[in-house]
Amino acid sequence: MNKEKEIDMLKEKLDYYTLVAADEIGLPVSSNGLVLPCGASGRFER
């Protein structure tokens, strides 16, 4: 399945919901200034 079709399918599904929220948590690395991803969340509300 191509990305464009996949995105369209997701948009159709998300139109059903009234609230979509996402967040990501990262830990800073002091030695090189990068951030390590350590968690993500998503929430769908009607």
The pLDDT tens digits for 1-46 are 688 888 888 877 776 666 778 899 999 999 999 999 999 998 877 7
Number of domains observed in the structure of the chain: 1
Residue 18 belongs to what domain range?
A: 3-45
How much is the pLDDT for 8? Answer: 83
CA gap 41, 43 in Å, rounded: 7
**Residue 23 Cα distances to 4, 31, 37, 44, angstroms:** 24, 25, 11, 12
How much is the pLDDT for 10? Answer: 80
